[in-house]
Amino acid sequence: MRRTAARLADGRELFYFDDTEPYAGGGAVRERHDTRRLPPAGAASELRFDPLTGEWVVSASHRMDRTFLPDPADCPLCPTRPGRAATEIPADDYDVVVFENRFPALGSGGADAGPVDGDPLWPRRPATGRCEVVAFTADHEARFADLSLERVRAVFDALADRTAEHSAAPDVRQVFCFENRGAEIGVTLQHPHGQIYAYPFLPPRSQVLLQRARAHHAATGRLLQRDVLDAERRAGTRVVWSGRRWTAYVPAAARWPVEVHLAPHRDVPDLVALDDAERDELAVAYRELLRRVDLFFDGVQRVPYIAAWHQAPVGDERPYGRLFCQIFSLRRAADKLKYLAGSESAMGVWISDTSAERIAVRLRELAG
């Protein structure tokens, strides 16, 4: 795979990750000149602290006007083709592309305005960090599960590349790679793509996971996620895919109507630390899991899902983190969605409408 850097018309960075010739070998170079007239990139984001929960909230009012479900002919993630308006990607074709989000939640880097209303009860600070878009393929109609294994591997190589770069930034605490798929999830662009968030703080979900991991390590001397993986493999009840280097299982306390976790057998903190053999098998396992998710409900061709890569944070908590992927869907039947109503949204108490074992049985039925 070959990486080529470029700049968009407003100064944002773009990277081509090529896995096909003649580009992968350097025999040709993708178009790097963006012909659009764009104002300089900028964002109006800030972080506001919630004293009731101890969490940072990203305030990004400029995102209210971001692109929303455009016609395929106007898709900003398609290549720039002759006779059509220029898109976010200057080349007329591409393999994998990563570029800075035009409407980022993070990355303003503005001045510190002090607390809200001057009251120390509500601290506020610039929303530094980074938000990037990852276009998986130039094919607007493709699903991730349709991609070749070589392309899936290229996507993960690109995510690892970006994770390594962002993790080295002084203001980044955690790098989060994910894919939202489906209008039900809230996707605003239908083109197959993912995103990367480089957070300047430790997200709430990660804080809880690491608190539990530290307590487990203090009591046992072992990694919590390692013990969870080993226990799931021993029981086998909820294992849905297993290889030499990865195992996929439905967690015993699954929350979502469709949920599966994918974890490496070796203790690694992030995608960067995976070796070639692990990345090769990851491409096989991940594509297969997404294929099964799309078949989960009879009569539904594209199940909405979120695929979230949990990576170890940067800093003192890093030894307690361990790489795993969480794939889940809010669809609970062919014609029904799982809504996060009063108990889940207001009190954080999850009520599952199914069982982990039933989910696992269905995912195993869809093998091969």
Does the predicted TM-score (pTM) go above 0.75? yes
What digits encode the pLDDT tens for the residues 219-267?
A: 999 999 999 999 999 999 999 999 999 999 999 999 999 999 999 999 9
Q: Is 166 a catalytic residue?
A: no
Q: What percent of the chain has a predicted confidence (pLDDT) above 70?
A: 99
Contact present, 141 and 192 (Cβ < 8 Å): no
To the nearest 10 degrees (0 to 180), the angle between helices 224-235 and 204-220 is 80
pLDDT for the residue numbered 89:
98
Of the pLDDT bands very low, low, confident and very high (cuts 50, 70, 90), residue 61 is confident
Angle at 339 between CA 252 and CA 360, to 5 degrees: 25
pLDDT average, residue stretch 337-358 = 97
pLDDT for the residue numbered 119:
97
pLDDT average, residue stretch 97-109 = 91
pLDDT average, residue stretch 336-343 = 96
pLDDT for the residue numbered 310:
98
Given a cut of 80, whether residue 110 has pLDDT beyond it is no
- Catalytic member of 193, 216, 261, 310: 193
Phi first, then psi: what are they for 122, rounded to 5°? -120, 75
What digits encode the pLDDT tens for the residues 21-56?
A: 999 999 999 999 999 999 988 777 899 999 999 999
Given a cut of 90, whether residue 321 has pLDDT beyond it is yes
What digits encode the pLDDT tens for the residues 173-229?
A: 999 999 999 999 999 999 999 999 999 999 999 999 999 999 999 999 999 999 999
The overall average pLDDT reported for the chain is 96
Could you tell me the domains of the chain?
A: 2-156+185-196 (3.30.428), 205-365 (3.30.428.10)
pLDDT for the residue numbered 112:
83
Of the pLDDT bands very low, low, confident and very high (cuts 50, 70, 90), residue 109 is low
